Amino acid sequence: MPAARDNVTPRPRAATIICQALYYLVGRYLPPSYACSLLGRLSKQFRALVCRQIFRSAGRNVNVEHGAYFGSGRLIEIGDNSGIGVDCHVPADIRIGRDVMMGPEVLVIGRNQNHRFDDLDLPIRLQGYADSPPVVIEDDVWLGARAIVLPGIHIGRGSIIGAGAIVTRDVPPFAICAGNPARIIRFRNAPCEAERQLDTLPPVPACAAPVNSLEE
Ligand SMILES: CC(C)(COP(=O)(O)OP(=O)(O)OC[C@H]1O[C@@H](n2cnc3c(N)ncnc32)[C@H](O)[C@@H]1OP(=O)(O)O)[C@@H](O)C(=O)NCCC(=O)NCCS
């Protein structure tokens, strides 16, 4: 996971605004990276080029896919070989580590999208937003199609979020989560059930006679 970069040299505001316009008016509508080879590759490169100017920091080989939405994107940090998937929505301050994959239509909800609702006498729309820390997705995470991640969630290294999961709590490293609300179905770094049973089986008793004695 790249360290938070508080000392990044600020880019000229005009350059960022031009790149945001290029992304939202052009890049976002270009074909996905996997579309008919050359056109897909060029589209990927164009989006990567403009997003590098928009994001706070971007590693090598970042793939912002067709239709991705990231607001102003100005506080986004994204590591090497990571992507924002086709038609995904992520907040403008998300932190994404290295080697992170997103299926299509993943929705990560940001800190300014959780309405407050404590006051029963005031319409919810006038109550402002509950603050929460930025969503963090650590290295080597795979988010399945249409997963939803709620504000302030921290997704640990090497974990997998199943298709359609709604992540309401932090996810520990190497967990595989699925469902609504998302529950851990197993850990990638824990032995599977069959292996566990093998470990707990009593040892095989030693043979009373050598095996080849059966042939005698
Ligand atoms: C999460 C995932 C990786 C789990 O794969 P797996 O470890 O092979 O899991 P299994 O198929 O053995 O399923 C284990 C259990 O979890 C359940 N489960 C698996 N994926 C689920 C999901 N997305 N939502 C709800 N439950 C799910 C299964 O029904 C099964 O439950 P059971 O034990 O009660 O029968 C996979 O199911 C998934 O969602 N992949 C995402 C694919 C995707 O979105 N690709 C987009 C392109 S990147």
In this prediction, residue 12 carries a pLDDT of 78
In this prediction, residue 211 carries a pLDDT of 38
Residue 115 a catalytic site member:
yes
Give me ligand 1 centre to Cα 183, in Å.
11
Q: Are 47 and 27 in contact (CB under 8 A)?
A: yes
Percent of the chain whose pLDDT exceeds 70: 83
Percent of the chain whose pLDDT exceeds 90: 76
The two most distant CA atoms of the chain are separated, in Å, by 93
- The secondary element (H helix, E strand) that includes residue 107 is strand 107-108
Q: Does ligand 1 lie within 6 Å of residue 166's CB atom? A: no
72-89: pLDDT as tens digits:
999 999 999 999 999 999
pLDDT over 50 at 51, yes or no: yes
Count of CB atoms situated within 10 Å of the CB of 38: 8
pLDDT over 70 at 9, yes or no: no
Q: Does ligand 1 lie within 6 Å of residue 85's CB atom? A: no
Q: Are 135 and 151 in contact (CB under 8 A)?
A: yes
Residue with tokens 């994404």: 96
In this prediction, residue 4 carries a pLDDT of 52
Higher pLDDT, 28 or 204: 28
User: Which residue blocks in the chain are alpha helix, DSSP H?
Assistant: 13-25, 37-54, 193-200
Residue nearest to atom 18 of ligand 1 (CA): 178
In this prediction, residue 113 carries a pLDDT of 85
115-166: pLDDT as tens digits:
999 999 999 999 999 989 999 999 999 999 999 999 999 999 999 999 999 9
Higher pLDDT, 22 or 7: 22
